[in-house]
Protein backbone atom coordinates (compact mmCIF):
# COMPACT_ATOMS: atom_id res chain seq x y z
CA UNK A 1 0.00 0.00 0.00
CA UNK A 2 2.82 2.39 0.94
CA UNK A 3 4.73 1.60 -2.26
CA UNK A 4 1.59 2.14 -4.30
CA UNK A 5 1.15 5.53 -2.63
CA UNK A 6 4.75 6.49 -3.43
CA UNK A 7 4.34 5.45 -7.05
CA UNK A 8 1.19 7.44 -7.30
CA UNK A 9 2.98 10.52 -5.93
CA UNK A 10 5.90 10.24 -8.30
CA UNK A 11 3.48 9.78 -11.20
CA UNK A 12 1.68 12.97 -10.18
CA UNK A 13 4.99 14.82 -9.79
CA UNK A 14 6.07 13.88 -13.30
CA UNK A 15 2.71 14.79 -14.75
CA UNK A 16 2.72 18.21 -13.08
CA UNK A 17 6.30 18.86 -14.17
CA UNK A 18 5.14 18.32 -17.72
CA UNK A 19 2.01 20.44 -17.43
CA UNK A 20 3.78 23.39 -15.84
CA UNK A 21 7.03 22.88 -17.73
CA UNK A 22 9.06 22.85 -14.53
CA UNK A 23 12.39 21.22 -13.81
CA UNK A 24 11.03 19.59 -10.69
CA UNK A 25 7.79 19.22 -8.77
CA UNK A 26 7.78 17.76 -5.27
CA UNK A 27 4.57 16.74 -3.54
CA UNK A 28 3.82 16.20 0.11
CA UNK A 29 1.29 13.54 1.06
CA UNK A 30 -2.27 14.82 0.87
CA UNK A 31 -3.60 12.48 3.54
CA UNK A 32 -2.99 14.87 6.43
CA UNK A 33 -5.27 17.53 7.95
CA UNK A 34 -5.33 20.76 5.92
CA UNK A 35 -3.44 22.66 8.64
CA UNK A 36 -0.58 20.18 8.47
CA UNK A 37 -0.08 20.55 4.73
CA UNK A 38 1.80 23.82 5.20
CA UNK A 39 3.99 22.25 7.87
CA UNK A 40 4.81 19.34 5.55
CA UNK A 41 5.56 21.72 2.67
CA UNK A 42 7.71 23.80 5.01
CA UNK A 43 9.67 20.74 6.07
CA UNK A 44 10.20 19.50 2.54
CA UNK A 45 11.24 22.95 1.34
CA UNK A 46 13.67 23.53 4.17
CA UNK A 47 15.35 20.18 3.49
CA UNK A 48 15.55 20.94 -0.21
CA UNK A 49 16.97 24.40 0.47
CA UNK A 50 19.68 22.98 2.68
CA UNK A 51 20.68 20.64 -0.12
CA UNK A 52 20.60 23.32 -2.79
CA UNK A 53 22.51 26.13 -1.10
CA UNK A 54 26.26 26.36 -1.09
CA UNK A 55 28.75 28.76 0.39
CA UNK A 56 28.75 32.16 -1.27
CA UNK A 57 25.07 32.01 -2.22
CA UNK A 58 22.68 34.90 -1.83
CA UNK A 59 19.25 33.60 -0.93
CA UNK A 60 16.19 35.81 -1.42
CA UNK A 61 12.94 34.93 0.36
CA UNK A 62 9.41 36.31 0.47
CA UNK A 63 6.96 36.42 3.34
CA UNK A 64 3.74 34.53 3.93
CA UNK A 65 2.43 31.77 6.16
CA UNK A 66 3.99 29.05 3.99
CA UNK A 67 7.43 30.66 4.10
CA UNK A 68 6.98 31.08 7.86
CA UNK A 69 6.66 27.28 8.02
CA UNK A 70 9.78 26.85 5.90
CA UNK A 71 11.68 28.90 8.47
CA UNK A 72 10.01 27.13 11.42
CA UNK A 73 10.75 23.66 10.08
CA UNK A 74 14.36 24.41 9.23
CA UNK A 75 16.82 22.73 11.54
CA UNK A 76 19.89 24.49 12.91
CA UNK A 77 23.06 23.75 10.97
CA UNK A 78 25.98 22.57 13.06
CA UNK A 79 28.32 23.83 10.36
CA UNK A 80 27.41 27.40 9.43
CA UNK A 81 26.79 28.18 5.79
CA UNK A 82 28.61 31.17 4.36
CA UNK A 83 25.49 32.64 2.81
CA UNK A 84 23.55 35.89 2.83
CA UNK A 85 19.77 36.01 3.14
CA UNK A 86 17.70 38.97 1.91
CA UNK A 87 14.01 39.73 1.42
CA UNK A 88 12.84 39.54 -2.19
CA UNK A 89 10.76 42.66 -1.93
CA UNK A 90 9.81 45.39 0.49
CA UNK A 91 6.50 44.71 2.15
CA UNK A 92 5.79 45.71 5.70
CA UNK A 93 2.02 45.53 5.39
CA UNK A 94 1.53 42.10 6.88
CA UNK A 95 1.70 40.70 10.40
CA UNK A 96 5.26 40.80 11.58
CA UNK A 97 5.35 37.00 12.01
CA UNK A 98 4.92 36.46 8.29
CA UNK A 99 6.86 39.41 6.93
CA UNK A 100 9.79 38.61 4.69
CA UNK A 101 12.20 40.43 7.05
CA UNK A 102 11.26 38.15 9.94
CA UNK A 103 11.63 35.02 7.84
CA UNK A 104 14.96 36.22 6.45
CA UNK A 105 16.36 36.66 9.96
CA UNK A 106 15.10 33.25 11.09
CA UNK A 107 16.47 31.37 8.12
CA UNK A 108 19.83 33.14 8.32
CA UNK A 109 20.09 32.28 12.00
CA UNK A 110 19.33 28.61 11.43
CA UNK A 111 21.80 28.30 8.59
CA UNK A 112 24.46 30.33 10.35
CA UNK A 113 24.57 32.93 7.57
CA UNK A 114 24.21 36.67 7.60
CA UNK A 115 21.27 38.79 6.50
CA UNK A 116 20.20 42.23 5.31
CA UNK A 117 16.69 43.62 5.75
CA UNK A 118 14.46 45.85 3.69
CA UNK A 119 12.33 48.33 5.62
CA UNK A 120 10.05 49.51 2.87
CA UNK A 121 6.29 49.16 2.94
CA UNK A 122 4.28 47.70 0.10
CA UNK A 123 2.01 50.10 -1.75
CA UNK A 124 4.27 53.02 -0.90
CA UNK A 125 3.48 56.16 -2.93
CA UNK A 126 5.67 56.36 -6.03
CA UNK A 127 7.10 59.76 -5.05
CA UNK A 128 8.28 58.37 -1.73
CA UNK A 129 10.15 55.42 -3.18
CA UNK A 130 12.90 57.50 -4.68
CA UNK A 131 14.16 59.24 -1.54
CA UNK A 132 13.87 55.98 0.41
CA UNK A 133 16.01 53.90 -1.89
CA UNK A 134 18.77 56.50 -1.55
CA UNK A 135 19.12 55.48 2.09
CA UNK A 136 22.47 53.70 2.38
CA UNK A 137 21.10 50.74 4.34
CA UNK A 138 18.33 50.18 1.81
CA UNK A 139 20.70 50.68 -1.11
CA UNK A 140 23.01 48.08 0.34
CA UNK A 141 20.24 45.47 0.66
CA UNK A 142 19.00 46.19 -2.86
CA UNK A 143 22.52 45.78 -4.23
CA UNK A 144 22.85 42.40 -2.55
CA UNK A 145 19.38 41.40 -3.70
CA UNK A 146 20.33 42.08 -7.32
CA UNK A 147 23.00 39.42 -6.94
CA UNK A 148 20.67 36.79 -5.46
CA UNK A 149 21.20 33.43 -7.14
CA UNK A 150 18.50 31.48 -5.34
CA UNK A 151 14.95 32.54 -4.46
CA UNK A 152 12.16 30.89 -2.54
CA UNK A 153 8.69 32.43 -2.65
CA UNK A 154 5.03 31.73 -1.99
CA UNK A 155 1.93 32.09 -4.13
CA UNK A 156 -1.45 33.31 -2.94
CA UNK A 157 -4.87 33.76 -4.46
CA UNK A 158 -5.35 37.28 -5.78
CA UNK A 159 -8.38 37.86 -3.55
CA UNK A 160 -6.64 36.73 -0.35
CA UNK A 161 -3.47 38.66 -1.03
CA UNK A 162 -5.27 41.86 -2.00
CA UNK A 163 -7.24 41.74 1.24
CA UNK A 164 -4.13 40.88 3.26
CA UNK A 165 -2.29 43.81 1.71
CA UNK A 166 -5.05 46.17 2.79
CA UNK A 167 -6.84 46.91 -0.49
CA UNK A 168 -10.41 48.12 0.01
CA UNK A 169 -13.48 46.33 -1.37
CA UNK A 170 -13.67 48.51 -4.47
CA UNK A 171 -9.99 48.01 -5.33
CA UNK A 172 -10.28 44.26 -4.81
CA UNK A 173 -13.31 44.14 -7.10
CA UNK A 174 -11.40 46.03 -9.79
CA UNK A 175 -8.37 43.80 -9.44
CA UNK A 176 -10.47 40.66 -9.82
CA UNK A 177 -12.42 42.19 -12.71
CA UNK A 178 -9.07 42.78 -14.42
CA UNK A 179 -8.65 39.01 -14.29
CA UNK A 180 -6.23 38.66 -11.36
CA UNK A 181 -6.16 35.08 -10.10
CA UNK A 182 -2.80 34.50 -8.46
CA UNK A 183 -0.16 36.58 -6.69
CA UNK A 184 3.53 36.22 -6.05
CA UNK A 185 5.67 38.86 -4.27
CA UNK A 186 3.44 41.75 -5.20
CA UNK A 187 2.70 40.74 -8.79
CA UNK A 188 -0.83 39.73 -9.73
CA UNK A 189 -1.30 37.31 -12.63
CA UNK A 190 -4.33 36.33 -14.70
CA UNK A 191 -5.10 32.72 -15.53
CA UNK A 192 -2.94 32.97 -18.65
CA UNK A 193 0.03 34.03 -16.55
CA UNK A 194 0.07 37.66 -17.63
CA UNK A 195 0.69 40.40 -15.08
CA UNK A 196 -2.40 42.51 -14.55
CA UNK A 197 -1.24 44.56 -11.58
CA UNK A 198 1.74 45.01 -9.31
CA UNK A 199 2.14 46.68 -5.95
CA UNK A 200 4.49 49.61 -5.83
CA UNK A 201 7.41 48.47 -3.78
CA UNK A 202 11.07 47.87 -4.37
CA UNK A 203 13.11 44.74 -4.82
CA UNK A 204 12.98 41.96 -7.35
CA UNK A 205 11.21 42.37 -10.64
CA UNK A 206 9.82 39.45 -12.54
CA UNK A 207 12.52 39.81 -15.16
CA UNK A 208 15.11 39.25 -12.42
CA UNK A 209 13.70 35.77 -11.88
CA UNK A 210 14.85 34.69 -15.30
CA UNK A 211 18.46 35.21 -14.29
CA UNK A 212 18.29 33.71 -10.80
CA UNK A 213 19.77 30.20 -11.01
CA UNK A 214 17.21 28.50 -8.87
CA UNK A 215 13.69 29.71 -8.13
CA UNK A 216 11.70 27.57 -5.71
CA UNK A 217 7.98 28.13 -5.19
CA UNK A 218 6.03 26.78 -2.22
CA UNK A 219 2.24 26.77 -2.23
CA UNK A 220 -0.35 24.23 -1.17
CA UNK A 221 -4.08 23.84 -0.67
CA UNK A 222 -6.62 23.16 -3.39
CA UNK A 223 -7.92 26.72 -3.17
CA UNK A 224 -4.55 27.81 -4.59
CA UNK A 225 -4.71 25.56 -7.68
CA UNK A 226 -5.74 28.34 -10.06
CA UNK A 227 -3.36 30.80 -8.44
CA UNK A 228 -0.52 28.35 -9.04
CA UNK A 229 -1.51 27.90 -12.68
CA UNK A 230 -1.52 31.69 -13.02
CA UNK A 231 1.75 32.50 -11.25
CA UNK A 232 3.94 29.46 -11.90
CA UNK A 233 5.63 28.63 -15.18
CA UNK A 234 8.98 27.67 -16.58
CA UNK A 235 9.55 31.32 -17.43
CA UNK A 236 10.15 32.11 -13.77
CA UNK A 237 10.36 29.06 -11.54
CA UNK A 238 12.37 25.85 -11.50
CA UNK A 239 11.00 23.87 -8.59
CA UNK A 240 7.46 23.71 -7.16
CA UNK A 241 6.64 22.19 -3.80
CA UNK A 242 2.96 21.56 -3.24
CA UNK A 243 0.67 18.77 -2.04
CA UNK A 244 -0.94 15.78 -3.69
CA UNK A 245 -4.51 17.14 -3.69
CA UNK A 246 -3.53 20.47 -5.15
CA UNK A 247 -1.55 18.63 -7.82
CA UNK A 248 -4.64 16.60 -8.73
CA UNK A 249 -6.73 19.76 -8.86
CA UNK A 250 -4.24 21.49 -11.18
CA UNK A 251 -4.14 18.44 -13.44
CA UNK A 252 -7.95 18.36 -13.60
CA UNK A 253 -8.03 22.04 -14.57
CA UNK A 254 -5.44 21.72 -17.31
Contacts with ligand BG6 by CB under 6 A lie at 62-66, 153-156, 161, 183-185
Measured from the CB atom, the residue of 24 and 164 that comes closer to ligand BG6 is 164
CB of 154 to ligand BG6, least distance (A): 3
Q: Which residues pair with 84 in a beta bridge?
A: 58, 114
Measured from the CB atom, the residue of 113 and 154 that comes closer to ligand BG6 is 154
Q: How far is the CB of 73 from ligand BG6 (least distance, A)?
A: 14
Burial class (CB in 10 A: 0-12, 13-18, 19+), 121: middle
Q: Which is nearer to ligand BG6, 111 or 231 (CB)?
A: 231
Smallest distance, ligand BG6 to C-beta of residue 184, A: 4
Show Cβ contacts of residue 92 under 8 Å, excluding neighbours closer than 6 positions: 99, 101, 119, 120, 121, 122
- Compute the least distance from the CB of residue 11 to ligand BG6, in Å: 26
Q: How far is the CB of 205 from ligand BG6 (least distance, A)?
A: 14
Comparing CB distances to ligand BG6, the nearer of 30 and 81 is 30
What is the number of the residue whose Cβ is closest to ligand BG6?
A: 64
Task: Give every strand in the sheet of 187-189, ordered side by side.
Answer: 156-157, 182-184, 187-189, 195-198
For the bound state, the minimum distance from the C-beta of residue 187 to ligand BG6, rounded and expressed in Å, comes to 8
Nearest distance from C-beta of residue 134 to ligand BG6, angstroms: 24
In Å, what is the CA distance from 73 to each residue of 3, 45, 54, 95, 237? 26, 9, 19, 19, 22
Beta-carbon count within 10 A of 147 CB: 12
The dihedrals phi and psi of 159, each to the nearest 5 degrees, come to -65, -45
Sheet harboring 114-115: ordered strands across? 24-28, 239-243, 214-218, 150-154, 58-61, 84-87, 114-115
| Smaller CB separation from ligand BG6, 144 or 158 | 158
- The H or E element spanning position 36 is helix 34-52
Quick one: 84 or 101, whose CB is closer to ligand BG6? 101
Nearer Cβ to ligand BG6 (66/246): 66
Amino acid sequence: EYIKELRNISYLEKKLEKILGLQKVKLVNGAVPADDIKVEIGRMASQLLKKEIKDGDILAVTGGTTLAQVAAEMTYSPDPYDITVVPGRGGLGENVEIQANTIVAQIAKKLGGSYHLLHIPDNIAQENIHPLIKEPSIQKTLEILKKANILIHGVGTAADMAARRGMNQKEIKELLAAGAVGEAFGFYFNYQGEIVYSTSSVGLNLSDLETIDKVIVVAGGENKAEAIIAAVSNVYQDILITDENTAKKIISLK
